[in-house]
Structure 1
Amino acid sequence: MGLAVIVVLAGLLFAYYANYALDRTTAADRARTERKAGSAADREQPAFVATRTPRDIEQDPPENFVVLLDRKLTEREQTDLAAASARGSGLDVWRFLKPLGGRLVEYASPSIFPHPGLEGGNGLTGMWSQSFNLNLNSDRSAGLTVNSMKAVKDSCRPSRAVAVVDLPPAGSEGRQGLMWDLSGGTDIRPKGPYVLDGEDQGKLFFRHNVIELGNGQSNMALLIQPRVSDLTCTWHIDASYTDTSGTHTQQIPGKGTFTTEAVPASPLQYFGEHVGLGWGCLGDVVRENCPAAEDLERLPPVWLAKQGRP
């Protein structure tokens, strides 16, 4: 019996040390295999996810904006518009027009940049914008670097809006973000992206910066301000990034596009506040609701067409 116990114990010890030796000799190979499998699984995930959210007009209104509609306002709606305007808040007007199909477009004056010549460009021509928030996030364990984002215009066309309501200026604070000038048709290459605010305002963003994602990096949240002049454009972003496997390109937003709407120079209806004189209107409108109509006809907004204007 004693001999049998000794034999069994010897066998167990031999098996233990044999397995231990095997684990030691194969540990490096198994670690390399696991790392390769982990890296392959990591690369199978999207490099990053780009999420677009509209700007919160209630909490973060642009400084100066207009509202566009694809139909004319009725006589009753014009009376209600005048009443909403009399309350003195552009947001009150926006709240009235939004359920009627109104779409907000910002003034994007070139004066936001203090110098007429931008880095790498000859100034801006885009006057209208529809800003939005863009959030970039990566779940990859390995890091990646976005080193270029190029705007690509897919199509451009004249604005289809027929009614324009010009709202009084409101206070607005600067935001970190990127700006592209998309003026002109698809044959004119977009300018930018430029730094939207701060001490580097007007500089080409990717000439001086990159965006680091993955590897536990915080997500990047940006205000995007695309600018157009006389044409509404659909467009997308081609983002170039590098990771451990090389250089790649990812389209934002996925398979879709963004749309940035221009304001028509000859709308069928125009409503706006004439500085110091009150609410005015032009075109196919009820003039009784617009005490400053004559003054507005004499001094219309600079972008409103002189010829062909209603």
Structure 2
Amino acid sequence: MAFKERSVSDDLPSGPSGSRSDEPGTLNALADNLSPDTRDLPTKKRIKVIVLSAAVSLAVVAATIVGTYAFDLWTTESKTRAGTEAERGIDLARAPFIAHVSEVDVKNFPLDYALDRPLADAELKHITEFTPERQAELVPYLRTLGGYFLRDGPYFLSTRGKYLSEFNLQMHSDRQSQITITDMRPKVIDCQPSTGVAVISVPPDGVSAYTGLLFDLAAENPEAIIVDETDNRGSPFFASNVINLGGGAEPANLRVQSLTSHEACEWEIEVEYADSTGEHTSVIQNGDVPFRSEALPRDADQHWEWQSRGGGTWVNCRINDNAVCLSDPANR
């Protein structure tokens, strides 16, 4: 029996040129998986349709990704801006600054001390037993009597007949943004003659220097004066200085001094400051009440002065006609 040699082509069905029968089965099988709806199309056209569909799908996916990213970016920026504005509003709603007032710790001489009532004989006896060497005991004792301490005004200013009161003023701001204080001026509310009836004085042996800001309440247009030991001493402080608070700035610690004549005055401090919204004005008081600056009376019923000459002695300025009391208002 004779055998005929068999070839692969004998098993393939015949068909028109370019039909799917002319292409490898693997390609058509892949096309069937990707796009079964194009099964009846010629292979080349079918591949074009599949490629175009894939390109369109990729474009849609890419557009979706880009759109989503752009939307997320836009919403993130919007949220960030809204959050920043909200934080800024909260920050500006805080008080521009907070002021804390405290007494100056009077520990040494010179000093004037006045009381709105007469000193009892026992109190006078106790006071006149002190000497400057025991000043650490005298000052606390005077404080227990309920009076107030005064000093002479700075020697480099024309302060004859005026008396100096002082207190410590600390200012700080809780704001994240900075504020700038550009001016501080006293506003006198009312002045009345001193009601002091008893005076105890320990005059200085020489001139005295003070540090801080000084307001002369008796001046026509009082402003903050530099009293530090600098070349600008006696000049307006805010002519060449500002005070920055908030935004991480350190608190301002000031020694505030005021001058009055023979009147006790109530007053407050008007503060001009600037922040990111513009210029503003605020008021500082001693808590909920005005500041009060005292003065010695023109003619106190009781007036005792320590005089260092001759070994030192206490002199009754109201009885001893031969005494020249430096602290007497007539001699200031």
TM-score by length of 2: 0.73
Give yes or no for contact 1:194–1:204 (8 Å, CA) kept in 2.
Answer: yes
Name the counterpart of 2:200.
165
What's the CA shift for 1:74? 1.8
User: Aligned equivalents of 1:294 and 1:175: distance in 2?
Assistant: 33
Any residues of structure 2 matched to 1:56-71 within 5 Å, and which?
Answer: 56-58=105-107, 61=108, 63-71=109-117
Name the counterpart of 1:75.
121
What's the CA shift for 1:212? 0.8
Name the counterpart of 2:274.
242
Name the counterpart of 2:149.
104
Name the counterpart of 1:304.
329
Q: Which consecutive unaligned segments of at least 5 residues does structure 1 have?
A: 1-12, 117-122, 288-292
The letter for the 2-side match of 1:93 is: L
What's the CA shift for 1:51? 0.9
What's the CA shift for 1:106? 1.4
Over the matched positions of the two proteins, sequence identity in percent amounts to 27
Q: Which consecutive unaligned segments of at least 5 residues does structure 2 have?
A: 1-61
What's the CA shift for 1:305? 4.1
What's the CA shift for 1:91? 3.7
Aligned: 1:89 with 2:121:
no
Name the counterpart of 1:295.
322
Give yes or no for contact 2:188–2:266 (8 Å, CA) kept in 1.
Answer: yes
Give yes or no for contact 2:161–2:329 (8 Å, CA) kept in 1.
Answer: no
Any residues of structure 2 matched to 1:1-310 within 5 Å, and which?
Answer: 20-58=69-107, 61=108, 63-83=109-129, 85-86=130-131, 88-109=133-154, 111=155, 113=156, 123-124=158-159, 127-169=162-204, 176-183=211-218, 189-199=220-230, 200-253=232-285, 255-277=288-310, 278-283=313-318, 293-296=320-323, 299-301=324-326, 303-305=328-330
Listed one character per residue, the Cα deviations across residues 205-233 of structure 1 (whole Å, up to 9, x for unaligned) are 01111111111001110100111111110
Listed one character per residue, the Cα deviations across residues 227-268 of structure 1 (whole Å, up to 9, x for unaligned) are 111111000011011111111001002653100001011000
RMSD value over aligned CA atoms? 2.9
Greater CA drift, 272-281 or 34-43: 272-281
User: Aligned equivalents of 2:161 and 2:96: distance in 1?
Assistant: 32
The letter for the 2-side match of 1:165 is: I
What's the CA shift for 1:173? 8.3
User: Aligned equivalents of 2:321 and 2:160: distance in 1?
Assistant: 30
Max Rg structure: 2
Which SS does the other structure have where 1:154 is aligned?
Answer: strand
Which SS does the other structure have where 2:264 is aligned?
Answer: strand
User: Aligned equivalents of 1:167 and 1:86: distance in 2?
Assistant: 10
What's the CA shift for 1:94? 2.0
Instruction: Tell me which of the two structures has the higher relative contact order, counting C-alpha pairs closer than 8 angstroms and 6 or more residues apart.
Output: 1
The letter for the 2-side match of 1:150 is: R
Give yes or no for contact 1:176–1:223 (8 Å, CA) kept in 2.
Answer: yes
The structure-2 alpha-carbon separation of the partners of 1:189 and 1:82, relative to structure 1 and needing over 3 Å to count, comes to same
Listed one character per residue, the Cα deviations across residues 67-126 of structure 1 (whole Å, up to 9, x for unaligned) are 11111112222211111x2463334322222212221111214x2x2xx6xxxxxx4456
Give yes or no for contact 1:153–1:190 (8 Å, CA) kept in 2.
Answer: no
User: Aligned equivalents of 1:279 and 1:170: distance in 2?
Assistant: 15
The structure-2 alpha-carbon separation of the partners of 1:170 and 1:274, relative to structure 1 and needing over 3 Å to count, comes to closer
Q: Give the number of equivalent residue pairs.
A: 269
User: Aligned equivalents of 1:206 and 1:87: distance in 2?
Assistant: 38
Give yes or no for contact 2:202–2:307 (8 Å, CA) kept in 1.
Answer: no
Greater CA drift, 16-25 or 270-279: 16-25
Which SS does the other structure have where 1:89 is aligned?
Answer: helix
The structure-2 alpha-carbon separation of the partners of 1:16 and 1:133, relative to structure 1 and needing over 3 Å to count, comes to farther
